[in-house]
Structure 1
């Protein structure tokens, strides 16, 4: 029995899915770090 291999269409679908996942992840990280940064500024008055 030969191993099923992804068709090109499926490959593109998965690649798009992962790109979306990673961009969401990095956006979330930026958002979180911005919140932390803002909180830090509030907690440390000049």
Structure 2
């Protein structure tokens, strides 16, 4: 079932999805809004 979400996300965005750190969420770079998707903005961690 997870592979079906990966394939659909890849087809819809033109990107290659990778598993996020949790292993239960697919990630692609950029903003690709759509039904059933969450668009989150990521930033580089602050380095002191």
| TM-score in same-fold range (> 0.5) | no
The higher relative CO (CA closer than 8 Å, separation ≥ 6) is in 2
Higher strand fraction: Structure 1 or Structure 2?
2
Structure 1 length normalisation: TM-score?
0.29
